[in-house]
């Protein structure tokens, strides 16, 4: 977490709303900057065929869209969280997610791909879902984080299995997986409650719709 981030305890609800909207514009329309070095730095690019480069670019487009949604979820949850401690935890997680966003963006550019055209939709929908989760209470909101991160880790495992020989992308995805596992465990330890089965299944269905759409659009 960078030292120039504002302390969530010092922000009013209006400040947080404006901050969330500003973050949305930067996430969707701007170029992301990472606070940590890219894990792929100094690794060779081992993707040779045009077919494999297109495949990996599309997989990374999915991951980039997922990080856009993650930024929005954390911003929405921080907006409506009841405790300053929860808002602080969301801010720290969001900073690491912004690293993932930048790394995915860099890899997509290296492979000659493009970001999803539907990123504004992913951000808007996820921001609303995050805000609703926050309104349900901090324990539910933290439980939502834990379940989201669990599903993201499962999704990253699938991509790691599907990757062709690609040391650069693999290094990025493995670091992302490590971070997501830590975010989920932190949310559980902070008191996140397990979500009901129907909500978990709805989250899985929503994730599948996003990933399959982002692969193509």
Tokens of 174: 């493995």
CA-CA distances (angstroms) from residue 185 to 70, 97, 113, 142, 159? Answer: 16, 15, 33, 10, 22
What's this model's pTM, rounded to 2 decimal places? 0.86
Residue keyed to tokens 């999803």: 116
Residue 206 pLDDT > 60, yes or no? yes
As a dihedral over the C-alpha atoms of residue 137, residue 3, residue 177, residue 105, rounded to 10 degrees, the angle is 110
How many structural domains are present in the chain? 1
Range of the domain at 118: 9-36+43-216
Those residues whose C-beta lies under 8 Å from the C-beta of residue 37, and which sit 6 or more positions away, are none
Q: Please, what is the angle between helix 119-135 and helix 50-80, to 10°?
A: 30
pLDDT on residue 45? 94
Dihedral class, residue 45 (left if φ above 0, else alpha if ψ from -120 to 50, else beta): beta
pLDDT on residue 5? 44
Residue 1 lies in a domain: no
Residue 4 lies in a domain: no
Residue keyed to tokens 């709805």: 202
Rounded CA separation 173/100 (Å): 9
Residue 2 lies in a domain: no
**Residues of the chain above pLDDT 90, percent:** 54
Those residues whose C-beta lies under 8 Å from the C-beta of residue 65, and which sit 6 or more positions away, are 115, 116, 118, 119, 122, 210, 211, 214
Q: What is the mean pLDDT of the chain?
A: 86
pLDDT tens, residue by residue, 127-146: 999 899 889 988 998 998 99
The domain that holds 163 is classified in CATH as 1.20.1260.10
Would you call 194 exposed, middle or buried from its count of C-beta atoms within 10 A (0-12, 13-18, 19+)? exposed
Residue 3 lies in a domain: no
Residue 94 lies in a domain: yes
pLDDT tens, residue by residue, 58-105: 999 999 999 999 888 888 888 888 888 777 777 777 778 889 999 999
Rounded CA separation 79/17 (Å): 6
């Amino acid at each position: 977490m960078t030292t120039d981030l504002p302390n969530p305890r010092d922000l009013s609800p209006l400040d947080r709303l404006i901050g969330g909207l500003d973050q949305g514009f930067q996430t969707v329309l701007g170029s992301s900057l990472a606070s940590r070095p890219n894990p792929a730095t100094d690794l060779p690019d081992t993707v040779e065929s045009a077919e494999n480069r297109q495949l990996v670019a599309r997989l990374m487009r999915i991951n980039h869209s997922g990080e856009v949604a993650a930024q929005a979820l954390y911003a929405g949850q921080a907006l409506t969280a009841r405790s300053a401690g929860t808002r602080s935890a969301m801010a720290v997680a969001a900073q690491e997610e912004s690293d993932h966003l930048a790394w995915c963006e860099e890899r997509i550019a290296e492979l000659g791909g493009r970001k999803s055209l539907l990123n504004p939709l992913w951000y808007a929908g996820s921001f609303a879902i995050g805000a609703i989760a926050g309104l349900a209470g901090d324990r539910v909101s933290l439980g939502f984080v834990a379940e989201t991160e669990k599903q993201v880790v499962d999704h990253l495992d699938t991509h790691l299995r599907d990757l062709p020989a690609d040391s650069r992308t693999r290094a990025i995805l493995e670091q992302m997986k490590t971070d997501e596992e830590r975010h989920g465990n932190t949310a559980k330890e902070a008191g996140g409650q397990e979500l009901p089965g129907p909500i978990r299944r709805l989250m899985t269905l929503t994730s599948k719709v996003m990933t399959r759409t982002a692969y193509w659009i």
